Chain A
Amino acid sequence: MSDLMKMTLAEAREGLRARRFSSAELAAASAAEIAKARPLNAFIVETPEIAAAMAAASDARLARGEGGALEGIPLGIKDLFCTKGIQTTAGSHILEGFKPVYESTVTQKLWDAGAVMMGKLNLDEFAMGSSNETSYFGPAVNPWRRGNDDAKLVPGGSSGGSAAAVAAELCFGATGTDTGGSIRQPAAVTGIAGIKPTYGRCSRWGIVAFASSLDQAGPMARTVKDCAILLREMAGFDPKDSTSVDLAVPDFEAACNAGVKGLRIGVPKEYRIDGVPAEIDALWEQGIAWLKEAGAEIVEVSLPHTKYALPAYYIVAPAEASSNLARYDGVKYGLRVENDDLTRMYEQTRAAGFGREVQRRILIGTYVLSAGYYDAYYLKAQKVRTLIAGDFKAAFEKCDALLTPASPSPAFGIGEKTNDPISMYLNDVYTVTVNLAGLPGIAVPAGISKDGLPLGLQLIGRAFDEETLFSAGSVLERAAGFTGKPGRWWA
Chain B
Amino acid sequence: MSVDEKAVRRAARLARLAVPEDRLAPLAAELSGILAWVEQLNELDTQNVEPMTSVRPMRLYRRADVVTDGFYAEDIVKNAPRSEDNFFVVPKVVE
> Interface of A with B (CB < 8 Å)?
97-101, 198-200, 213-214, 239, 242-246, 305, 307-308, 311-312, 314-315, 322, 326, 329-336, 339-348, 350-351, 354, 359-360, 362-367, 370, 376-377, 379-387, 389, 421-422, 438, 463
> Measured between C-beta atoms, what is the minimum distance from B62 to chain A in Å?
9
* From B10, B39, B52, residue with most partner A Cβ within 10 Å: B52
Q: Which of B40, B46, B93 contacts A387 (CB 8 A)?
A: B46
Residues of chain B contacted by A351 (CB below 8 angstroms): 17-19
B61: chain A residues within 8 A (beta carbon): 239, 242, 244, 246
List, in ascending order, chain B residues with CB within 8 A of A366's CB.
11-12, 14-15
Q: Which of B1-55 contact A (CB under 8 A)?
A: 1, 3, 7-8, 10-12, 14-19, 27, 30-31, 33-35, 37-44, 46, 49-53, 55
How many angstroms from the CA of A100 to the CA of B78 in the assembled complex?
9
Known: A315-B38, A347-B17. A421 touches B30 (CB 8 A): yes
Residue of A nearest to B93 (CB): A342
CB of A15, distance to nearest CB on chain B (Å): 39
Q: Are A336 and B14 in contact (CB under 8 A)?
A: no
Q: Given A242-B60, A342-B90, A382-B52: A334 and B8 within 8 A (CB)?
A: no
Q: Chain A residue with minimal CB distance to B62?
A: A242
- B33 contacts A422, C-beta separation under 8 Å: yes
Give complex CA distance A330, B60 in Å.
Answer: 32
- Chain B minimum-CB-distance residue to A389: B52
- Complex interface: chain A residues within 8 A of B75 (CB): 101
Cα–Cα distance between A326 and B14 once the two chains are bound (Å): 10
Query: Which residues in A have their C-beta under 8 angstroms from that of B40?
Result: 307-308, 311
State the Cβ distance, B39 to closest chain A Cβ, in Å: 8
Chain A residues with CB below 8 A from B91, complex form = 339-342, 345
A463 to B58, CA, bound (A): 13
**In the complex, chain A residues whose CB is within 8 Å of the CB of B39:** 311
Q: DSSP class of B's interface residues: helix, strand, loop or mixed?
A: loop
Q: A246-B61, A364-B34, A382-B51 are in contact. List 5 more A-B contacts (CB 8 A).
A: A214-B55, A305-B44, A359-B19, A363-B31, A387-B44
- Contact among B11, B34, B55, B82 for A370, CB-based, below 8 A: B11
Please give, as numbers and ranges, the residues of chain B lying within 8 Å of A360 by CB-CB distance.
27, 30-31
Q: Once the chains are docked, how many angstroms separate the CA of A332 from the CA of B46? A: 41
- C-alpha gap A55/B75 in the complex (Å): 28
B14 to A383, Cβ gap below 8 A?
Answer: no
Chosen A-B contacts, 6 in total, with CB atoms closer than 8 Å, are A213-B55, A308-B40, A331-B81, A332-B80, A363-B11, A386-B52
Instruction: Say whether B15 contacts A199, CB under 8 Å.
Output: no
Contact assessment for A383 and B50 in the assembled complex, using a CB-CB cutoff below 8 Å: yes
Docked Cα-Cα span, A248 to B15, in Å, equals 41
Contact status A386-B49, CB under 8 Å: yes
Q: B34 contacts A336, CB within 8 Å?
A: no
CB pair B41–A311 under 8 Å, yes or no, is yes
> Chain B residues with Cβ under 8 A from A438's Cβ?
55-56
Which of B15, B58, B91 is the most central at the interface, judged by chain A CB atoms within 10 Å of its CB?
B15
Closest to B58 in A: A245
With a CB–CB cut-off of 8 A, which chain A residues contact B76? 101
Q: Which of B12, B81, B82 is most buried by chain A, counting CB atoms within 10 A of its CB?
A: B81
CA distance A200 to B54 in the complex (A): 11
Chain A contacts for B15, CB-based, 8 A: 322, 326, 350, 362-363, 365-366
A-B pairs, 6 with minimum CB distance: A382-B51, A333-B79, A336-B81, A438-B55, A351-B18, A347-B18
Closest A residue by C-beta to B43: A308
CB pair B55 A377 closer than 8 Å: no
Chain A: which residue is nearest B91 at the CB level? A342
**Cα distance, A200 to B55, chains bound together (Å):** 9
The answer to whether A381 touches B79 (Cβ under 8 A) is no
Q: How far is the CA of A363 from the CA of B88 in the complex (A)?
A: 27
- Find chain B residues with CB under 8 A from A99 CB: 78-79
Chain A residues whose C-beta falls within 8 Å of the C-beta of B93 in the assembled complex: 342
A383 touches B55 (CB 8 A): no
In the assembled complex, the Cα of A244 lies from the Cα of B56 at a distance in Å of 10
* B3 lies within 8 A of A367 (CB): yes
Bound-state CA distance A383–B88 (Å) is 41
Across the interface, name the chain A residue whose C-beta is closest to B81.
Answer: A336
- The residue of chain B having its C-beta at the shortest distance from the C-beta of A358 within the complex is B17
Cα A300 to Cα B36 with chains together (Å): 32
Contact of A384 among B30, B44, B55 (CB under 8 A): B44
Contacts of A307 in B (CB 8 A): 40
Which residue of B is nearest A201, CB measured? B56
Question: Are A308 and B41 neighbours in the complex by a CB distance under 8 Å?
Answer: yes
**Docked-complex contact A348 and B90, CB < 8 angstroms:** no
B84 → chain A closest CB, angstroms: 13
- Which residues of B sit under 8 angstroms from A386, Cβ to Cβ? 49-52
Contact B17 A363 (CB under 8 A): yes
Decide: A359 and B17 in contact? CB cutoff 8 A. Answer: yes
CA distance A330 to B10 in the complex (A): 21
User: Cβ of A213: which chain B residues have Cβ within 8 Å of it?
Assistant: 52, 55
- Chain A residues with Cβ under 8 A from B38's Cβ? 311-312, 314-315, 377, 381
Contact A101 B88 (CB under 8 A): no
- Set of chain A residues within 8 Å of B31, measured between Cβ atoms: 360, 363-364, 367
Q: Report how far A362 CA is from B7 CA in the complex, Å.
A: 14
Chain B 65-86 near chain A by CB (<8 Å), digits 1 or 0? 0000000100110111110000
**Cross-chain contact of A350 among B16, B52, B92 (Cβ < 8 A):** B16
